[in-house]
């Protein structure tokens, strides 16, 4: 696919996706969501890619929100379809991926931008980043999972205050809330993201996939996460990665995981 609004770089089993709509502060329109879905889907199926980092172009914004001009005149039915399709194509899709996805928040992450970052497995932020869900100031609510993921990450009280006030928080407050794992100067954001991605890529991709599924299960109301963990733990014992990992440990050498 020829991408119009994103570009991808690959090096050392790590793919970096950059959302590239700087004049729109990287706002998510329909085409960008479709392009991101295609890119994530292809990278998920690529056995050579162990970790994905997603960021925005420039130094102002990760994603400053959804492109309001696209849906300002939608009907109730169209709006429901927009939210449902977007969640399926991108936000739920990213959360369910078994290739780790790291959000490198390099500026504003508002509305759909924060929702995209929250769908990733974890987040890093530059010290100029600001995050928020301003939808109620427009007479609407978050529609791409924000009302669900934000409370999971920072707690109900803090989340509903952010949503009801439509307020932005800075990177340091996001760090204190547990919304992001690290805050660094802008120039250090991608290098640190890639350093962490490299550490992840050295481990068993098979075990990481099982771990992601087990952790995600704990946030589903109709699934017993402990049961999923037990099953996944047992399944690991039947993999070549487990055989290599334990052999390497006993032989006091670095593991070379086959990825199966």
Residues with catalytic function: 115, 135
- Note whether 150 and 118 are within 8 A (CB): yes
H or E stretch at 183: strand 182-184
CA-based angle 83:63:92, to the nearest 5?
40
- Edge-first strand order for the sheet with 168-170 is 61-63, 108-110, 130-132, 168-170
Distance CA(58)–CA(123), nearest Å, equals: 18
Cβ neighbours, 10 Å, residue 11: 9
- Note whether 144 and 91 are within 8 A (CB): yes
How would you class 26 by CB atoms within 10 Å of its CB: exposed for 0-12, middle for 13-18, buried for 19 or more? Answer: buried
How would you class 65 by CB atoms within 10 Å of its CB: exposed for 0-12, middle for 13-18, buried for 19 or more? Answer: buried
What is the DSSP pairing of strand 122-126 with strand 130-132?
A: unpaired
Two tokens, residue 213: 């599924």
Two tokens, residue 149: 């993921």
Q: Which of helix, strand or coil describes residue 117?
A: helix
Q: How far apart are the first and last CA of the chain?
A: 29
Sign, CA dihedral 1-69-143-107, equals: positive
């Amino acid at each position: 696919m020829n991408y119009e609004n994103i570009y991808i770089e690959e090096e050392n089993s790590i793919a970096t996706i950059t959302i590239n709509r700087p004049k729109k502060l990287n706002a998510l329109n329909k085409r960008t969501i479709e392009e991101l879905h295609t890119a994530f889907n292809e990278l998920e199926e690529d056995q050579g890619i162990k970790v994905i980092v997603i960021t925005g172009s420039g130094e102002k914004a990760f994603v400053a929100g959804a492109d309001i001009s696209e849906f300002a005149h939608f009907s109730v039915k169209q709006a429901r379809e927009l939210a449902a399709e977007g969640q399926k194509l991108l936000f739920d899709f990213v959360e369910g991926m078994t290739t780790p996805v790291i959000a490198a928040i390099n500026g504003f992450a508002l509305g759909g931008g924060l929702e995209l970052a929250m769908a990733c497995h974890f987040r890093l932020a530059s010290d100029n980043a600001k995050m928020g869900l301003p939808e109620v100031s427009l007479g609407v609510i978050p529609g791409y999972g924000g009302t669900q993921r934000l409370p999971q990450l920072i707690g109900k009280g803090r989340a509903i205050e952010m949503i009801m006030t439509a307020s932005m928080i800075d990177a340091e407050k996001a760090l204190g809330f547990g919304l992001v794992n690290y805050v660094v100067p802008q120039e250090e954001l991608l290098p640190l993201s890639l350093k962490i991605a490299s550490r992840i890529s050295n481990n068993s991709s098979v075990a990481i996939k099982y771990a992601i599924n087990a952790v995600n299960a704990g946030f589903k109301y109709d699934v017993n996460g402990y049961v999923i963990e037990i099953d996944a733990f047992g399944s690991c014992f039947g993999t070549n990665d487990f055989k290599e990992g334990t052999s390497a440990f006993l032989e006091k050498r670095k593991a070379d995981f086959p990825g199966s």
